[in-house]
Amino acid sequence: MTNNIITPPAWRYCRVRRPRPAHLPESTPPLRTVLHGDAMTVLRQLPTASFDCVVTSPPYHLLRRYGAGEKEIGTETHVDDYVQRLITVCDELARVLTPTGSLFLNLGDSFSRGPRYGAPAKSLLLAPERLLLALAERGWSVRNKVVWAKPNPMPNSIGDRFSTTWEPVYFLVRSERYYFDLDIVRVPHKTTRQPGPVMVNTKYGGRRPAWAGPLAGANDGLERTRADGRPGHPLGKNPGDVWTIPTAGYRGAHFAVFPENLVRRPILAGCPERICSRCTGPWVRERRRDRLGTIAPSCECRADWRSGRVLDPFMGAGTVGVTAEHLGRDWLGIELNPDFVEIAAQRIAKARRPIKDESQAA
């Protein structure tokens, strides 16, 4: 990595001694630091298949200025030019992700003020939809469109449409087989059910309903589980794709801060705790119904392991780094604005758990 994209303040605040597994590959990227530079420039210098998960939120089209000049993504006049730049970034993200890696992308939309922006006045520009269609053609699979519902949305005085109270978080992967740990993010059931007789598909006589199309799923739901007196899976229910999370308040200079609770679930589910240092295969969780299973290698390499790595190419105020620190993952941030590099570095340093220096132990 060239020195001109690592600012001294970021390095000073973010580098820290930490026990690590031995024999890591020579292509190990910088970790637990914020790199100062343009996302595309820095991404092109990172090793291939060196990160296990990306959690990020690029600047939205023409909504905010982050003080980084013409290189700043989101300042393009036409939405198609904006989307094309994001496509280029995602191409590099595809390269630096491991085959089992995933991308969690928070990307809101903007309303047009005239055809020069890419849509009639007052219309949504559909920037997220344009990007998703392009990424699907480039080998990405869109696994979820999560609704981030905000109980404390920004008020507005618009009188000819509904207020915008949610944003999407897209879950994308590059392979049919990818890492995803559902058990670690299950949530408690809200209801209980008394035991009853097993009645499976009674509505349709045990047969597939006539109305079901070729892409329809099974219609039996959790009938057997509920007949046994359980509301669902013993470890809790799937959290679903509507997450009600308040927006985050922050007193610093950055005015669009990720809520930590919005970042926590993608990292827990999408970034393995441990990775085989030889084949980059993730350690996976044992499937159990009586308790949360332990993790173990999914390969037969019998090699050393490294911590899972999270990347945020639009680091902003550093919430992804803060959350990764709390969850014991390695991380890397990229940020174009040097003031935000400093903000992120200081936030992460304050959030970092103390690490015992064994050389000074009694």
Q: Residue 133's domain is classified under what CATH number?
A: 3.40.50.150
Across residues 28-42, what is the average pLDDT?
A: 95
The pTM (predicted TM-score) of the whole model is: 0.86
Spatial distance between the Cα atoms of 319 and 260, rounded to a whole number of angstroms:
6
Spatial distance between the Cα atoms of 357 and 210, rounded to a whole number of angstroms:
66
Spatial distance between the Cα atoms of 101 and 291, rounded to a whole number of angstroms:
26
CA distances from 209 to 198, 221, 223, 224 (A): 19, 14, 16, 18
At residue 193, the pLDDT reads 60
Asked whether residue 111 is assigned to any structural domain, the reply reads yes
One domain, residues 129 and 93:
yes
Q: What percent of the chain has pLDDT over 70?
A: 80
One domain, residues 345 and 199:
no
Structure confidence by residue, pLDDT tens digits, 43-100: 999 999 999 999 999 999 999 887 767 779 999 999 999 999 999 999 999 999 999 9
Spatial distance between the Cα atoms of 305 and 329, rounded to a whole number of angstroms:
13
Structure confidence by residue, pLDDT tens digits, 198-223: 555 555 555 777 888 888 876 666 66
One domain, residues 268 and 286:
yes
Structure confidence by residue, pLDDT tens digits, 293-350: 999 999 999 999 999 999 999 999 999 999 999 999 999 999 999 999 999 999 999 8
Asked whether residue 358 is assigned to any structural domain, the reply reads no
One domain, residues 115 and 150:
yes
CB-CB contact of 56 with 258 (8 Å): no
Spatial distance between the Cα atoms of 214 and 210, rounded to a whole number of angstroms:
11
One domain, residues 24 and 52:
yes
At residue 354, the pLDDT reads 57
One domain, residues 131 and 197:
no
At residue 268, the pLDDT reads 98
Residue (of 86, 14, 321) closest to 6 by Cα position = 14
Residue (of 145, 137, 139, 148) closest to 170 by Cα position = 145
One domain, residues 243 and 207:
no
One domain, residues 133 and 168:
yes
Number of domains observed in the structure of the chain: 2
Percent of the chain that is helix, strand, coil (3-state, to 5): 25, 20, 55
CB-CB contact of 173 with 203 (8 Å): no
One domain, residues 157 and 245:
yes
Min mean pLDDT across 62-71, 115-124, 187-196 is at 187-196
One domain, residues 221 and 247:
no
CB-CB contact of 102 with 172 (8 Å): yes
At residue 210, the pLDDT reads 80
One domain, residues 173 and 301:
yes
Provide the domain limits for residue 205: 192-231
DSSP labels, 217-284: --S-TTHHHHHTT-SS-TT-B---SEEE-PPPP--SS-SSPPPHHHHHHHHHHHS-SEEETTT-PBEE
pLDDT tier at 360, thresholds 50, 70, 90 = very low
Asked whether residue 362 is assigned to any structural domain, the reply reads no
Structure confidence by residue, pLDDT tens digits, 320-332: 999 999 999 999 9
Across residues 105-115, what is the average pLDDT?
A: 97
One domain, residues 97 and 207:
no
Across residues 144-148, what is the average pLDDT?
A: 98
Asked whether residue 360 is assigned to any structural domain, the reply reads no
Asked whether residue 145 is assigned to any structural domain, the reply reads yes
